[in-house]
Structure 1
């Protein structure tokens, strides 16, 4: 009975409906936005725009009369704006870096698997080359074949000479018999 009141670890808990609905968003879309934002912040164009913005801000507040200047000399509002931008930029840049790190891990794993396959292929080819070398050592070499063919040719020449000699001797015998 006590077990039914307590949550068991082998059964999932019932999902509770939140009191306040949470806003939903697509994490991939948000991640793509973060990557684009981080890429833009890492460009010279962003630095030029930011420099022009700050220079215009300072120039406006230094040169305009007091009733048109909206930020006095210590530029506290400008500092607040830059701090706000940095507080939003840092997490977005970190999110973009995390996504890039995940992609890099996938690529590294793919490279590792390709390297493992290439290594296995190289080992297989090395074994094949070794077996071919061993088989070649058992085979007749070109020089050996040439010497064997030369000896066979010499033997055939000797036989041909012997046969020619036998034919001549047979041809000469009937001529000698006819003269007897």
Structure 2
């Protein structure tokens, strides 16, 4: 028995006779959803409604008299198609955001690992430098040895 995932839609069992490219359709829906959110669309839609109302109120051939039932039907039809297209575009954006988030988390983990490695390396270098004889230390030791030898020479017969 196959396991069903709740975050993915189920596969269709029946094939529709219409073939389409889901990626191309998804790109088109994103463009359409982006256009619906612009001032240009609002201006076009407002102009369309004003012309429609003016024509059917003042025009010689009134095909949709007041209360403009056909206009309401057309706007409802437009909204019924726009809503799923906007949802499809949002789902695609969510998928891209999820992938980007995973890549960001992976990069952050790598950066943290590299930072920890470099921190350990710096700490080991500091410890190693603490054990290295410096020039001043060697000079002081050499002077002490010279003083010791000079003192022994004076005490030797």
**Residue in 1 that maps onto 2:89:** 96
- Between the aligned partners of 1:83 and 1:77, the Cα distance in structure 2 is 10
**Residue in 1 that maps onto 2:49:** 54
- Between the aligned partners of 1:59 and 1:107, the Cα distance in structure 2 is 49
SS at match of 1:93: helix
Q: 1:142 to 1:69 in 2, by over 3 A?
A: farther
Q: Name which of 54, 63, 74 aligns with 2:58.
A: 63
Q: Which runs of 4+ in 1 moved over 3 A?
A: 145-149
Q: Name which of 33, 41, 45 aligns with 2:40.
A: 45
Number of aligned residues: 139
* Larger CA Rg, structure 1 vs 2: 1
Q: Please say if 1:108 is aligned against 2:86.
A: no
Highest RCO, 1 vs 2 (Cα 8 Å, sep ≥ 6): 2
Gaps of 5+ in 2: 3-12, 151-157
**Residue in 1 that maps onto 2:7:** none
Deviation at residue 41 of structure 1 after TM alignment: 1.0
Note the aligned Cα RMSD (angstroms). Answer: 2.7
- Between the aligned partners of 1:99 and 1:21, the Cα distance in structure 2 is 22
- Between the aligned partners of 1:21 and 1:52, the Cα distance in structure 2 is 38
- Between the aligned partners of 1:80 and 1:55, the Cα distance in structure 2 is 16
Gaps of 5+ in 1: 1-8, 11-16, 160-180
Q: 1:50 to 1:146 in 2, by over 3 A?
A: farther
